[in-house]
Amino acid sequence: MTRPLVLVGFSGGVDSSVAAALLKEQGYRVRAVMLDLWRESESCQSDPENCPAAAAARVADQLGIEFELRDWKDEFRRRIVDEFTAAYARGLTPNPCVSCNPEIKFAALLELAEEYGASYVASGHYVRRLLGNEVELHRGEAKKDQTYFLWKLQRQSLPRILFPLGELTKNEVRQRAAELGLASASRSESQNVCFIPGSLREFLAPRLESRPGPLVDLETGEIIGEHAGAAFYTVGQRKGLGLWKSHLERYVVEVRPQSNEVVVGPRWAVMHGGLEAGELNLLTEDLQGGLEAVVRYRARPVKARVVEIDETAGRLRLHFAEPQFAVTPGQSVALYRGTRLLGGAVIERALPTQR
């Protein structure tokens, strides 16, 4: 009997390396696939021995699994980088990883799975995959849980996606890598968006037509400072506003790219009682009963109530049990019941709370 083939999204880092090793130990045939999303090929041409793809290939060789690098740069640039830049131009604060995981990484792996006749695809995300009446995604290790980035996965694809690290902590993964003698065991993790090596402003400035403009006080309508370019600011921001009246405590309340205004106000103005969202995607039909909302990565879950939902239009309106700080258009709201990820949506508008 032929063992099932699994395609593993592979970077050569400690997480994907151990994920591949565990799958191999479980009896799967494993093939490692690294997607060239940004400039992997270019870095390999300039420094072939030390580029990420070469390092990943060496780890795959240690594990005794096949490795390949696939070019996905055009799709990544169009669907992630260009959309990311365009969102900032519209005054939004996007999260590119939320879109990249389902629309690029898993989509590519599932497409390649058809090419290779693979039964499953897998990744090194810290997510628990449980089988109930349907495939359920649950939070992984508390410090590394990555379910927030996966709410856009298509429900019908879940039976074909494996998450081998779901029951492990990061320390356990590193220990396992060390036991296997993998070069990735002590490799540091990247903390930045993969296509932004420096600051966000340095990345956006040459791509957007930004210019200085007024900081407008919400309560008085008075101009109380000058911003460096509306696209560089986000709801809830307090530092680096350049207020002329330095004694004022103000936060960004709204970004208005059409008039090139940034509206600032007191803290109460960025405490929100709910939200309206679009691009709704549900991983289950069961939204009955209580649920919790997470309005940004690592934010504390808050009890929420669905006031209105239109699955056909992909729209959702939620009210929070308690006010939330800086509910930001362009960010995602992920929905949970306990540890289970129910789905999510893209925040379009924050709803005010009663003062």
Please name the helix (run of DSSP H) or strand (run of DSSP E) that holds residue 214, with its range, or none: strand 213-217
Length of the chain: 355
Q: Is 25 exposed, middle or buried (0-12, 13-18, 19+ CB in 10 A)?
A: exposed
C-alpha distance from residue 187 to each of 136, 163, 174, 273, 350 (Å): 31, 21, 9, 42, 39
Torsion 205-211-217-218 (CA) sign: negative
Q: Are 52 and 40 in contact (CB under 8 A)?
A: yes
Token pair recorded at residue 162: 């494996």
C-alpha 110/C-alpha 120 separation (Å) is: 8
- Eight-class DSSP state of 243: B
Nearest in space to 125 (alpha carbons), one of 103, 155, 101: 101
Are 289 and 276 within 8 A, CB to CB?
Answer: no
Q: Which of 44, 51, 97, 100 is catalytic?
A: 100
Q: Give the β-pairing of 261-265 and 251-256.
A: antiparallel
Sheet holding 251-256, edge to edge: 223-227, 213-217, 261-265, 251-256
Strands 271-282 and 340-352, by their bridges, are: antiparallel
Q: What is the DSSP secondary structure assignment for residue 340, as one 8-state letter? A: E
The identity of residue 235, as a single letter, is V
Q: Which of 113, 151, 156, 154 is nearest to 344 (CA)?
A: 151
Looking at residue 143, its amino acid is K
Active site residue 97: no
| Rounded (to 5) percent helix, strand, coil in the chain | 30, 30, 40
Q: Going by C-beta distance under 8 Å and a sequence separation of 6 or more, which residues neighbour residue 42?
A: none
Q: Which residues are tagged catalytic?
A: 100, 194
